[in-house]
Structure 1
Amino acid sequence: MRSLSEGFVRSQGGAYARLVRHLVGVLLGSTDEPLRGDHVIAWLMQLEGPPVDAMGCSLAVHTLCRVGIAQRHEAWLRPRLKEAARRLFALPSPNDQDLYVRLSALVAVFSAAAQAGWLDDFKDESPRFRPLSVFLDLQRTLKSPFLRGRCFALMLSVMGGSDWQAMGGAGGTFRQPLADVLRMLDQACQADWSQPGDGIHEGPDYLLFPLSELLSAMAGAGLGDQAFAERDWVATARQLFARASLSSRCSQLTFHGMALHSLGLATPEHLRTLVLDTAGRYAASGLLASHDAYLRCTYLVTFADRLRCRGELSAAIEQRLAIALMSTHPAEPAVNPKYLRQSMSAAYLLYAASDHGDALGLARVAGLIQDSWSRSVWPWRDWGPIEFGHALVDAALDAVPCLLRGRS
């Protein structure tokens, strides 16, 4: 992974890539120094403007929290995180997608603040700094039910699992905004709304995905009663899942299954049966050669891992992951280009190995990625900086738990 972080810098340049290289290098012991907050701060001061500075600062706080030293640098990190949020407010958002990126970065800032115990910095303290109110106002302007539902679910998930409950309660703060989002989804369901596929999502996915994430977040925030208030949203989710294509069910199963489990409506045994049946059908379908199979298989493997039934998956699923980096697909007009990047395959593989908690598996995956680069199977220049940078740091954190405990 150290070699990957070096290649990441050669490909991307910039302070964000160098921050990632520094974090990975120190975590994996490629330098003699411990992970020092002042060195991380030095890289943060060089980050480009929003939203990169917000994502980089959030990543740094997350990492320093994981190793137990964030509080030592609280005096500098807390205002830096707050300033990153302020900069996001000033970022123009000419369309839904740009606004979604901006709001997702704001969610990452809130998530980092929650992890560090600094959420009191993000209360609506004055007319000039009202971060949560600004988020709630901006998400109302998203025209796509898909983007608005997902964006709102992300923030509700962060706040519902935080100490915000002790500061007035996520339930009270989010109850009416949640009702507004659900009303938008209800109208979309009645109109059988969808949007053109992007090579991964299609048809029912555009309602199922946000709904599944919302149901999980509602349960975590103590708002599970809203799943049955104006409409039986669980029944709606089940219907949408049944209508989804086999490929879509492979990736949506994680979110759909976790929603049911969060609401107490599915046991691990039921979910194991569902994931093994879906994986078996997918392996026998002939779809493993498609451009999106790496993503579908990653979701199946990671969900099966959490359910402790990964060893029962069809061998073809694991084999498809092993060759993901060797697959090349020409540009297709109907496919979002990011899903054709080998960098996305690499990021998903790293996440799958990290989720498994197997340091040797992580090393093998990193070796596969490095080998494909050395043979010029795919260029470094197409690496998605945010996705891959986060994947590398998460993998480094998960690869050295004993070392991290010693440093904390």
Structure 2
Amino acid sequence: MKSLKRWLVRVSLGLAVLAGFAPALTAQAASGVTKVPARAAYVMDAQSGQVLYQQNANKRYPIASLSKLLTVYLTVKAIDQGKIKWTDQVPIDHNLIRLSHNSVFSSLRMKSSDQFTVKELVVAAMVASSNSAASALGNYVAGNNAAFIQQMNQQCADWGINAHFISSSGLDNSDLKSYGYRLPGTGASEENLVSAKAISIVAQHLLQADPEITQIASKTEATVNGTTIYNENSCLPGKSQYKKESQIDGLKTGYTENAKLCYTATFWVNGERMIATILGGDTTFSAMNKLIKQVKQTYQLQATALNSRNVVLVNGASVLAAPKTAQVGSWTQGNQTDTVTTQFKPQLTTTELQTGQVQSGDPVGVMTVADQQTGITQHVTYYAQSDATLFTSYQAFQPAATQPAALLKTLTTQTAVFDAN
């Protein structure tokens, strides 16, 4: 799966677009979009972060198993930092095995003799929403449950999003107390409280870190360690609420009595990746299809195609570079004149400049696409399609060698005098 390390580097260089990094067109109640029959709703462009609809989007609510989106993100992050591997065998403690035997809280029964890899547990968490799988991942990533919950909350603080986690699975303390997973210092019935906007941004980060996660989340069923598991996402192909025109390919559902039905969906509109979240509904799947349909009818996509280009680097070196994405877009509610400008700038990393080498797949430039009408500015990284040599050590030091420093000239003269005597 795509390296999170490289993505984190791009973020540090300012080369990635995440929600909050650029001004966004916000629609509190966009014309043509009726109120969603749920506590909260949020629709955003996954690449630009542009907000197309929001309803109580910043208020925190219980989100049940949508919590697993952050658990899986932190797992992917640990993998790409080299701390763990997809193929690692993950121990399942006795309490989680007991939890897996509770038919109310479990979708994957586990035995003490079972062995699960990190990848298998991610599949179990994303497809079947296994609470034991998610908790086991948290233990493995951070060493124990409390440490992992701390990581979850710290990550949210780093992103600046409105969230409070006490559970890696989404179960609340009243459910966890019998299994030794109640976080010390938290209330007897405390639960994860996260806003619709916040969990949508978590999903955005997960898609950035691992674009292939939808290939897992879109499975209606899967086999884990010989057991067939099933997806409760009713908007997937073959399910009761499937609508071809919605183009939904994930991402996660959740339900508890307190949270009601929660759903973060990923879908496509004219080649643009989108994210929508509905929290606390009773008809959330049908409401999601309606919300997507109305957003499509209300907004028009102004797309800018991005093509490969020959990038001239330092010392005349050049390389063919391809963009991270084939297009970027902004959304308007009316006809738009040509207000989009583009500007490309070669941009090398510190490592590339230090080594004088560009490897295939390395970032070499940034295209800035600005839409004056919506206020959306997007920065798209371009990557080298082949190796290139910027300069050699000889080239780097030759100019200095032809211009001796004053001290070197003096020492040379003194040496000549001594030789003469």
Q: Give me the TM-score of the superposition, normalised by structure 1.
A: 0.29
More strand by share: 2
Considering only CA atoms, is the larger Rg found in Structure 1 or Structure 2?
A: 2
More helix by share: 1
